[in-house]
């Protein structure tokens, strides 16, 4: 259906290989549909015992989603943008509930949509090349694709820190946080895939045999600061804590957060607060779809994509421009459930 993702079987495994190298394998609607259909097809196929997800050529595993298309649609009626999120979240949910083991190779850039297809996997392989982030608040979006579920379940306030700052972390950090299950050198990945295709029942053994010692996590050096400074679910309190801290590291975070959308930073905090007690991943996806449907047509997203990805002046004019200007009423509007006939469903 699309050459942007390569679907095949290899030995006893199904292979999903992202194939948009010029876009660092960013997901589009057709890719999401093709991946979901492949997973459905392999579900009852006894010849397929596991699924491997990686990228074909080029750098990076997956840089996210087709944000320019979403922005262009958001400037109009938003229908194409909503269709993208609808199909992407269905594919994310398929992976989350999949009965066969899935192995995701997070080799290189793993951001946004790439996080959404790797974190549901039972086995998540990081390497020395891994660059993991949920940078959405920088373009007036929020950490979706299950971000409210996954980030809210990290230790301490790590999830809130990653969501607000969009911090890029490496493979060692991913292992320390439990975002990755194994750390392999990039040069060992081809052997890992070959051996798994031959004997999917031995995935755990194969990955453990090829794994190397995980380097020290630089992020964890700041774990206590993050827990203390990002403790509140009120954005204003976090800004105040960072301002009062006055340390070099705290000032760096403050400087970073001042470039982000106040609106979607507040959306992110509520998303994680709700996500921590969300009954099921399906419920999470339903809420995130409602939020995405609203956010993709709001000023901050249109402006954020313009400033960061199109004009690249990196000077977005957020509205409201300050955390104090983002009212609770505005956040309630963004989180308002959709009518039943417009709501997201898993099937």
pLDDT tens profile 216-247: 999 999 999 999 999 999 999 999 999 999 89
Q: SS3 of 46, please?
A: coil
Reading the block at residue 73, the tokens are 């649609």
Residues classed as catalytic: 65, 113, 136, 144
Give the full edge-to-edge strand order of the sheet including 131-133.
Answer: 109-111, 131-133, 169-170
| Model pTM score | 0.96
How many Cβ atoms from other residues are within 10 Å of residue 208's Cβ?
A: 12
Which segments of the chain have a pLDDT < 70? Answer: 1
- Please report the pLDDT score of residue 176 as a whole number: 98
User: Are 256 and 262 contacting, i.e. CB atoms less than 8 angstroms apart?
Assistant: no
Domains and CATH numbers, the chain: 5-334 (3.90.226.10)
Main-chain phi, psi angles of 286, to 5 degrees:
-65, -45
């Amino acid at each position: 259906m699309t050459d942007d993702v390569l679907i095949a079987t290899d030995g006893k495994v199904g292979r999903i290989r992202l194939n948009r190298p010029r876009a660092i394998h960013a997901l589009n609607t057709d890719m999401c549909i093709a991946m979901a259909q492949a997973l459905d097809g392999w579900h009852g196929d006894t010849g397929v015992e596991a699924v491997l997800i990686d990228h074909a050529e080029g750098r990076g595993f997956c840089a996210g989603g087709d944000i320019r298309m979403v922005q262009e649609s958001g400037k109009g009626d938003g229908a194409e943008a909503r269709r993208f999120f609808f199909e992407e979240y269905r594919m994310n949910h398929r992976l989350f509930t999949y009965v066969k083991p899935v192995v995701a190779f997070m080799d290189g850039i793993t951001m946004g949509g790439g996080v959404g297809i790797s974190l549901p996997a039972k086995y998540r392989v990081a390497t020395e090349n891994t660059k993991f982030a949920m940078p959405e608040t920088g373009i007036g979006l929020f950490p979706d694709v299950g971000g409210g579920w996954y980030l809210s379940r990290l230790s301490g306030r790590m999830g809130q820190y990653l969501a607000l700052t969009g911090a890029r972390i490496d493979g060692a950090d991913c292992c320390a946080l439990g975002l990755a299950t194994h750390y392999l050198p990039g040069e060992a990945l081809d052997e890992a895939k070959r051996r798994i295709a031959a004997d999917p029942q031995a995935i755990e053994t194969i990955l453990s045999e090829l794994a190397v010692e995980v380097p020290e996590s630089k992020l964890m050096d700041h774990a206590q600061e993050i827990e203390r400074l990002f403790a509140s679910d009120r954005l204003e309190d976090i800004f105040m804590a960072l301002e009062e801290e006055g340390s070099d590291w705290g000032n760096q975070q403050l400087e970073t957060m001042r470039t982000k959308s106040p609106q979607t930073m507040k959306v992110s905090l509520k998303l994680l607060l709700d996500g921590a007690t969300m009954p099921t991943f399906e419920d999470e996806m339903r809420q995130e779809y409602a939020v995405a449907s609203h956010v993709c047509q709001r000023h901050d997203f249109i402006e954020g994509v313009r400033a960061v990805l199109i004009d690249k002046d990196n000077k977005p004019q957020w509205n409201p421009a300050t955390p104090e200007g983002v009212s609770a009423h505005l956040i309630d509007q963004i989180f308002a459930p959709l009518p039943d006939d417009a709501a997201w469903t898993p099937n």
